[in-house]
Chain A
Amino acid sequence: MKASILSADEMRRALTRIAHEILERNKGAENLALIGIHTRGIPIAARLAAKLQQLEGVDVPLGRLDITLYRDDLSEIAKQPIIRETEVPFDLDRRRVVLVDDVLYTGRTVRAALDALIDLGRPEGIQLAVLVDRGHRELPIRADYVGKNLPTAKSEVVKVKLQETDGTDGVELWDLEEVQAAQQ
């Protein structure tokens, strides 16, 4: 690991701040919905929903989105054709949806998520919340809520770890070569 970017406490504070910003921008939680993008966007969305409940006393509906069928980089998923569940158990029409992901990088995942969401219904608006924005956008997409802006090199990897998926909370910066070597 090159550097620890966010500790568990810092991550918690960042998500609390995002929850406040969501409420401020939307003037409350009415007609709001949170949709997490597989994999780590889902627990982050759930944490934001819990914070909104704490702050406003409102249960914001939660959904989960798998964007595999909407990706434009088919060759990269050639060996892993497993599609996970998309579950949006509420009507999207006239809702303001906050799409949630862990890292914003090229913007291609978000583009695919926007296509997927629009096929599911017609939300009044879609906003984007990410824990880390690491730059290097390839599409004109920006986040409305960012936990941590982190200028990175393409030769680096941002690892977001969550209790729900990894057993611990934190954000780390790694060298791509180091990560690839560990995978072999």
Chain B
Amino acid sequence: MNALSSKPKHLLDFQDWSAERLNALLDNADTMMQVLDRPVKKVPALQGLTVCTVFFENSTRTRVSFELAARRMSADVVSFAAGASSVTKGESIRDTIEVLTAYKVDAFVVRHQAAGAAHLVARYSGKPVINAGDGRRAHPTQALLDAYTIRREFGTLEGKTVAIIGDVRHSRVARSNAELLPKLGAKVILCGPATLLPRELAAEGVTLTTDPREAVRNADAVMALRLQQERMDAGYVGSLQDYARVYQVGEDLLAFAPNEAVVLHPGPMNRDVEISSEVADGPRSRILAQVENGQAVRMSTLYHLLVGRA
């Protein structure tokens, strides 16, 4: 038997997750990486279970990553895309989830444009729910795959510094990383223009700065966040050019970072806006590794939540 603390039922954010449990999940992702390297990239661990991906907001890569992860674990997968469903006829989340639960689905992977939607699904379904992004609030598996990518790079997260640069205000990825990484012993520096840097995110293990050079100075990993065009229209930044000149993760900025620092991006990228193509495709980039690691981390998450709940 092991001494792990009680097992959380959902992955909505990291509130109920101890560092010990999170590390166990990341440890298991190592095994999932081994599975992905084999000729038969599939194990029977979740055979007989059905995972439903419920995406009220579009996302190709996250949905595909989750669906492949579930299939690699031998779960059946059913996809529900809100755009092509009764939601367009006015059906509520509650009714949608209750119908899907009646179909004997064993777990939900939920993305929604509204913060807290995944909690709502958890409440109505009674089944394990994985939050695949809810509004600006949380995207826990993205943070886990970021943490895993850094851990693989350096062997540990303990004592590492991660600089997250860009539109922090609207980023669920930044929020989830700011919650997760300090739990695992890393320090987070959030950086962006003052208009995109909400002061309330400062916490133990998390510092804020508007100076990107300062942010990357001791960073082991530098993460660029996507800047959406509408931020400019809403007056958060003067112009894309102005923004890129100061905050773009490019070679000029990385000259201020330690030589061994790696670059991450949650994707999709606006090349030459928040990140230069040179850096995105360069030797420090771990952006494709993040994608590969993401599948292993999601396999591990499904395993962690579903094993024993059949």
B35 (CB) vs chain A CBs: closest residue: A69
Measured CA separation A121–B40 after assembly (Å): 9
By the criterion CB–CB under 8 Å, are A119 and B40 in contact?
Answer: yes
By the criterion CB–CB under 8 Å, are A80 and B2 in contact?
Answer: yes
By the criterion CB–CB under 8 Å, are B4 and A69 in contact?
Answer: no
Please report B residues at the A interface, Cβ cutoff 8 Å: 1-2, 4, 7, 24, 27-28, 30-31, 34-35, 38-40, 42-45, 73, 303-304, 307-310
Binary CB contact string for chain A from 56 to 91 against chain B (1 if under 8 A, 0 otherwise): 000000000010111100111111111111100000
Measured CA separation A74–B307 after assembly (Å): 6
By the criterion CB–CB under 8 Å, are A82 and B27 in contact?
Answer: yes
Interface size on A, residues (CB 8 A): 24
A115 (CB) vs chain B CBs: closest residue: B44
Query: Closest CB-CB distance, A68 to chain B, in whole Å?
Result: 8
Q: How many A-B residue pairs have CB under 8 A?
A: 66
Measured CA separation A115–B307 after assembly (Å): 18
Are A78 and B307 CB-contacts (below 8 A) given A66-B31, A85-B31?
A: yes
Query: Closest CB-CB distance, A42 to chain B, in whole Å?
Result: 16
A120 within 8 A of B: yes
Are A82 and B28 CB-contacts (below 8 A) given A69-B45, A74-B307?
A: yes
Q: Which residues of A contact B303 (CB under 8 A)?
A: 69, 81, 83
By the criterion CB–CB under 8 Å, are B7 and A79 in contact?
Answer: yes
Are A119 and B24 CB-contacts (below 8 A) given A70-B44, A70-B45?
A: no
By the criterion CB–CB under 8 Å, are A119 and B43 in contact?
Answer: yes
Q: What does DSSP make chain B's interface, helix, strand, loop or mixed?
A: loop
Query: Closest CB-CB distance, A78 to chain B, in whole Å?
Result: 2
By the criterion CB–CB under 8 Å, are A69 and B43 in contact?
Answer: yes
B47 (CB) vs chain A CBs: closest residue: A72
Measured CA separation A169–B231 after assembly (Å): 68
By the criterion CB–CB under 8 Å, are A81 and B307 in contact?
Answer: yes
Selected from A74, A82, A120, the residue in CB contact (under 8 A) with B24 is A82
Q: Which residues of B contact A74 (CB under 8 A)?
A: 45, 307-308, 310
By the criterion CB–CB under 8 Å, are A83 and B28 in contact?
Answer: yes
A73 (CB) vs chain B CBs: closest residue: B308
Q: Which residues of A contact B35 (CB under 8 A)?
A: 69
Measured CA separation A80–B309 after assembly (Å): 13
Selected from B1, B38, B73, the residue in CB contact (under 8 A) with A80 is B1
Q: Which residues of A contact B310 (CB under 8 A)?
A: 74-75
Query: Closest CB-CB distance, B204 to chain A, in whole Å?
Result: 28
Measured CA separation A71–B310 after assembly (Å): 13
Measured CA separation A66–B31 after assembly (Å): 10
